[in-house]
Amino acid sequence: MSGSAVDHRIRSLRPAKPLVDPYVAHGWLAEEERRPNDTVERTLTVFLAGAECPFTCSFCDLWRWTIDGPTPPGALVRQLERVLQELEGPVPHRLKLYNASNFFDARAVPREDLPAIAALAQPFAGVTVESHASTIGPATLEFGRLIPGRLEVAVGLETIHPLATSRLNKRLELARFDRAASFLADNGVDLRVFVLLGAPYVPPNESIEWVRRTVEYAAGRGASVISIIPVRGGNGELERLQEQGYFHPPTLSQLEAALDSCLDVGTAVTADVWEAQRLPSCEACRSQRIARIRRMNISGTREAPVDCSICGTA
């Protein structure tokens, strides 16, 4: 099946998309985050509304937070202005701009908006944006020159499992990721990497092993921060793959085990607990497990496993 045919199938299986206002951010979050060398910094993450990513990955759930068509010029600037007006207290160290797409895709982030966005980012010592490896290039350096703080680009590597890599419809070969990582390093831009737990086509009994391998791969290419993200169903395509035995929803215990496995890699590795309560888990110990993950995300130190009389330890 051709790439366009796969795109069409994936999109046809999606439920209806909620109406998204391109002039209002989805929300924001201020929290602490561990960085390399076990430093902890305060971050402000802004979830921006804009154009959908064109890559149509089989596992994606971010499309529901995007608009139809290109992002209107000035819309992202207005969103960010409103969030910063709501912010109280000291300015966080880092600003993370997550637009559910690719920051260096002109359809998602109009080029003419980059100076205004950079001006709003002036108070922050670090700025993180997200991008597919294929859209990293001159626009990345342009934005990096506009901000006084250090730029970091978050890239979804997802998995290095050979079968999964070829079937996720992400259009990302490892060589392309390697070139993007080298480009960022050569130009003084930091690399953050997203790694999937429960990627389709990865056998569930090998899931944690392939997370570890992928985390090691990313660290070897200079990633300063690596986030393990459990795949979340609901886009239709994952349910189709689950019926065929190619997707197995990850559990909360697997997320714990994946983080446990990767804390000694040598860079800052964290587990994403966004909507972690949705992950299959024992009702009796779910909150304890999520709390344990949150603590290890900050400390970088492995804790004793949760002892649950209902489901057993770990």
CA distances 305 to 33, 207, 227, Å, are 22, 19, 21
Q: Are strands 40-47 and 27-34 parallel, antiparallel or unpaired?
A: antiparallel
Instruction: Give the helix/strand (H/E) hosting 242.
Output: helix 237-243
DSSP state of 67: B
Q: pLDDT digits over 63-110, tens only?
A: 999 999 999 999 999 999 999 999 998 999 999 999 999 999 999 999
The pLDDT, as a whole number, for residue 51 is: 97
Residues facing 269 on adjacent strands: 226
**22 touches 80 (CB < 8 A):** no
Set out the domains of the chain in order of their start, with CATH numbers: 3-299 (3.20.20.70)
Pairing of strands 126-130, 268-271: unpaired
User: What pLDDT was estimated at residue 309?
Assistant: 84
- What is the model's pLDDT at position 3? 57
Cα–Cα distance measured from residue 45 to residue 31, given in angstroms and rounded to the nearest whole number: 8
Region of residue 233 (phi > 0: left; psi between -120 and 50: alpha; otherwise: beta)? beta
Distances (CA, A) of 129 to 48, 69, 167, 220: 11, 21, 26, 21
Burial, 13: exposed, middle or buried (Cβ in 10 Å; 0-12, 13-18, 19+)? middle
pLDDT of residue 2: 47
Instruction: Output the pTM of the full model.
Output: 0.95
Instruction: State which residues of the chain have pLDDT below 50.
Output: 1-2, 314
